[in-house]
Amino acid sequence: MKILKILGIIVLILIGVPLIVALFVPTDYGASRAIVIDRPLDEVYDFAKYLKNQNQYGKWNLMDPEMEHYYEGEDGTVGFVSGWKSDNPEVGHGEQEIIAMQEGKRIDFELRFFDPFESTDKAYMTFSEIDAGQTEVAWGFDGKMAYPMNLMVPMMGMEEMIGNDFQTGLDNLKRLLEK
């Protein structure tokens, strides 16, 4: 009986400690990366505002060339939706919608993931002219993970993982536009 009591206490500790720690871990997280592209701001912005162009440089699109795409609305305008369905669990099923645009400065997206998990988060791209022939582009993401799943944010290295994906996409965008 004493062994069962000890095992019960160990199980409670193994379950309770992570739940208590999760109370102190932020539920919000984000990632962003930036790059300088040797092209004028209007050229960079005019290419990036079309979500269909992300198929040429976004890491997730390049992970599954066979994924199904669907679109709703007029690309490059507020309300345009770009969706994807993939059998690759790292890509899954989701869509992004342009929810706001500041011409030549910023594009805001709503990301809706359906599979392998459900969530809705925000992403953005910002554009800054460094000089007449150089543009800094930043690509970022703001997410939320509810308690107690928020404990996974530091454990999985979400900022680094998502940030690295953005960096890959930005590197691809730079190569594409500087050809």
Condensed to tens digits (0 to 9), the pLDDT of residues 109-126 reads: 999 989 877 878 899 999
Count of CB atoms situated within 10 Å of the CB of 157: 12
Q: Is residue 10 part of a domain?
A: no
Contact indicator for 29, 158 with CB cutoff of 8 Å? yes
pLDDT at 157: 58
pTM of the model: 0.79
Q: What is the CATH number of the domain that holds 113?
A: 3.30.530.20
Q: Which domain holds residue 133?
A: 27-177
Q: Is residue 15 part of a domain?
A: no
pLDDT at 71: 96
Range 81-99 average pLDDT: 91
Average the pLDDT over each of 105-109, 142-146, 150-154 and give the range with the smallest value.
150-154
pLDDT at 150: 59
Q: Is residue 70 part of a domain?
A: yes
Q: Is residue 161 part of a domain?
A: yes
Q: Total structural domains in the chain?
A: 1
Q: Is residue 56 part of a domain?
A: yes
